Amino acid sequence: MTNIQFPPSLDEACKLLSQSAGAARIIAGGVALMVLVRHQLFSPDHLISLKQIAGLDQIRFDEKNGLTIGALVTHHRVETSPVVKERYPALAQCLHHVGNLRVRNMGTVVGDLCQGDNHSDPAPLLGVLGARIKAQSVRGERFIPMEEFHLDIYETALKEDEIATEIVIPPSLPGARSGYLRFSGNSPTDWPCLGVAAILVKEDGRCKEMKISLGSLTPVPVGFKEEAEAIRGKKLTPAVAKKFARACAARIDPIPDSRGSEWYKRRIAEVYITRIIERLNREND
Ligand SMILES: Cc1cc2nc3c(=O)[nH]c(=O)nc-3n(C[C@H](O)[C@H](O)[C@H](O)COP(=O)(O)OP(=O)(O)OC[C@H]3O[C@@H](n4cnc5c(N)ncnc54)[C@H](O)[C@@H]3O)c2cc1C
C-alpha cells in the first residue's frame, strides 16, 4: 500500500522529505510516476504530493526578474498563458508539442525536468533562455542553472531531500529571437527524436550573440559555446550556417536506438541546426 501525504506548506513538505531519508518521492501531476506504477516498474511506499501547497500553481512575470513558473503549473497552462505567448513565444510553441492534450493538462513543466528523461522538449530551450531551477530543502534554498540540472538520463542535480519549487526565466535580451524545432520520426505527438533550441541577437546584419542547445540525441542537452563563439561577428550566410551545423553535429555522440543510428542522428542534427539558424536569421532581419 502506498502512503500519500498532502502537506499544506513547502516547509512541511521539505520536513517530510528529509525525515523519509530517501524513501519518499515527490508527486506533482503524476503523469510520469503513474506510468511506472501501472507497469509495476516502481512501487512507491511513500509519496509526498505538492497539490495542497498554495502558490505553486502560479505563473508570474515582472520586467526585472522575468518569468516564474511554479512546480504545479502544467504544460497547458504555460502554452496558453498570454504573458508567455507575448514574452516567450518559443516556450509556448515548444510546450504545445509535448505529448498530447491529456499529458499537457496533467503533467507539469517542473515535473518534466525532474523526471530527467533525455527526450524532454523544454530542457534544451530553457537552457538557452538562461532558466534556473529553484530547489528547496530543510537546509535552505538554492538556484540550479538549467544547463547544470541534468546530469545523465533520469539523473538530476537535485539532492535526495530537495524539492524543485519553480523555474525562473530571465527577461529576454533586447533584440533577441528564440526558437525551438523538434523532429519526431514516428508521429507528431511522439516524444522528440531531436529537439533544437536557439537564441540569436544580431547587430548590423551580423551575429552578435548566439546560444544553441540540442536535446534528445544524447543523455543530456548539449550546448555549443565554442562553435557559437567562432561565428560571432559573422554574417549568417547559408554557407556559414551549414559549416557551423556540421561542426556541432561532429562533436556529439548520439545514442543509437529505434529512432535511428548514430550516423542518422548526426545527420538530422546538422539539418535541424541549419534550419533553426536560417529561421532566426530571417526573423531577425
Ligand atoms: C504518453 C506521454 C507522452 C509524453 N510526451 C512528451 C513529449 O513529447 N515531450 C516531453 O517533453 N515530455 C513528454 N512526456 C513527459 C511528460 O511531459 C512528463 O511526464 C510530465 O510533465 C511530468 O510531470 P508530472 O507533474 O506529471 O511529474 P510526476 O509524474 O508527478 O513526477 C515525475 C518525476 O519527477 C519528480 N518530481 C516531480 N515534481 C517534482 C518537484 N517539484 N521536485 C522534485 N521532484 C519532482 C517525481 O518524484 C518523479 O520522479 C510524455 C509523457 C507521456 C506519459
Q: Is 268 a pocket residue for ligand 1 (Cβ < 6 Å)? A: no
Q: Note whether residue 157 is domain-resident.
A: yes
Distance separating alpha carbons of residues 253 and 266, to the nearest angstrom: 8
Residue 1 has pLDDT above 90, yes or no: no
Cβ contact 235:227 at 8 Å: no
Q: Is 112 a pocket residue for ligand 1 (Cβ < 6 Å)? A: yes
Same domain, 181 and 164: no
Which of 114, 147, 169 is the endpoint of a domain? 169
In the reported structure, the alpha carbon of residue 217 is separated from the centroid of ligand 1 by a whole-number distance in angstroms of 19
Count of other CB atoms within 10 angstroms of residue 230? 14
Q: Look up the domain containing 7 and give its range.
A: 3-49
Cell numbers describing residue 275? 534550419
DSSP 239: H
Same domain, 262 and 204: yes
Best probe residue, ligand 1, of 27, 91, 216 (max atoms within 8 Å of C-beta): 27
Same domain, 104 and 201: no
In the reported structure, the alpha carbon of residue 31 is separated from the centroid of ligand 1 by a whole-number distance in angstroms of 6
Q: Is 120 a pocket residue for ligand 1 (Cβ < 6 Å)? A: yes
24-27 β-sheet, strand order = 3-5, 46-49, 24-27
Q: Is 130 a pocket residue for ligand 1 (Cβ < 6 Å)? A: no
Q: Per-residue confidence at 285, pLDDT binned at 50, 70, 90? A: low
Cβ contact 71:115 at 8 Å: no
In the reported structure, the alpha carbon of residue 76 is separated from the centroid of ligand 1 by a whole-number distance in angstroms of 13
Distance separating alpha carbons of residues 123 and 146, to the nearest angstrom: 8
In angstroms, the first-to-last Cα distance of the chain is 60
Whole-number mean pLDDT of the chain? 96
CATH code assigned at 26 = 3.30.43.10
Same domain, 44 and 68: no
Cell numbers describing residue 78? 504555460
206-215 β-sheet, strand order = 177-183, 194-203, 206-215, 222-223
Query: Among the atoms of ligand 1, which is closest to the Cα of residue 109?
Result: 21
Query: Among the atoms of ligand 1, which is closest to the Cα of residue 158?
Result: 43
Q: Tens of pLDDT along 53-109?
A: 999 999 999 999 999 999 999 999 999 999 999 999 999 999 999 999 999 999 999
For the chain, what percent of residues have pLDDT higher than 90?
Answer: 91
Distance separating alpha carbons of residues 140 and 128, to the nearest angstrom: 27
Q: Note whether residue 85 is domain-resident.
A: yes
Q: Is 103 a pocket residue for ligand 1 (Cβ < 6 Å)? A: yes
Residue 248 has pLDDT above 80, yes or no: yes
Q: For the chain, what is the radius of gyration of the CA atoms?
A: 19
Half-sphere exposure of 183 (CA within 13 A, CB side): 21
In the reported structure, the alpha carbon of residue 112 is separated from the centroid of ligand 1 by a whole-number distance in angstroms of 4
Same domain, 187 and 228: yes
Cell numbers describing residue 61? 512575470
Same domain, 64 and 41: no
Provide the number of structural domains found in the chain: 3
Same domain, 34 and 68: no
SS3 content of the chain, % helix, strand, coil (to 5): 35, 25, 35
pLDDT value at residue 209: 95
CATH code assigned at 82 = 3.30.465.10
CATH code assigned at 201 = 3.30.390.50
Angstrom distances, CA of residue 117 to CA of 31, 148, 181, 232: 13, 15, 18, 32
In the reported structure, the alpha carbon of residue 110 is separated from the centroid of ligand 1 by a whole-number distance in angstroms of 8
E strand map for the chain: 3-5, 24-27, 46-49, 59-62, 66-70, 132-137, 140-145, 150-152, 155-156, 163-169, 177-183, 194-203, 206-215, 222-223
Q: Is 59 a pocket residue for ligand 1 (Cβ < 6 Å)? A: no
Q: Note whether residue 67 is domain-resident.
A: yes
Distance separating alpha carbons of residues 10 and 57, to the nearest angstrom: 13
Q: Note whether residue 226 is domain-resident.
A: yes
Instruction: State mean pLDDT over 11-25.
Output: 95
Nearest CA owner, ligand 1 atom 47: 26
- For 175-189, 213-227, 251-265, which range has the lowest pLDDT when averaged over its residues? 175-189
Q: Quote the Cα angle for 257-263-267, to 5°.
A: 110
Q: Per-residue confidence at 284, pLDDT binned at 50, 70, 90? A: low
Same domain, 117 and 154: yes
Q: Tens of pLDDT along 190-223?
A: 899 999 999 999 999 999 999 999 999 999 999 9
pLDDT value at residue 124: 98
Same domain, 269 and 239: yes
pLDDT value at residue 174: 87
pLDDT value at residue 135: 98
Q: Note whether residue 54 is domain-resident.
A: no
Same domain, 64 and 156: yes
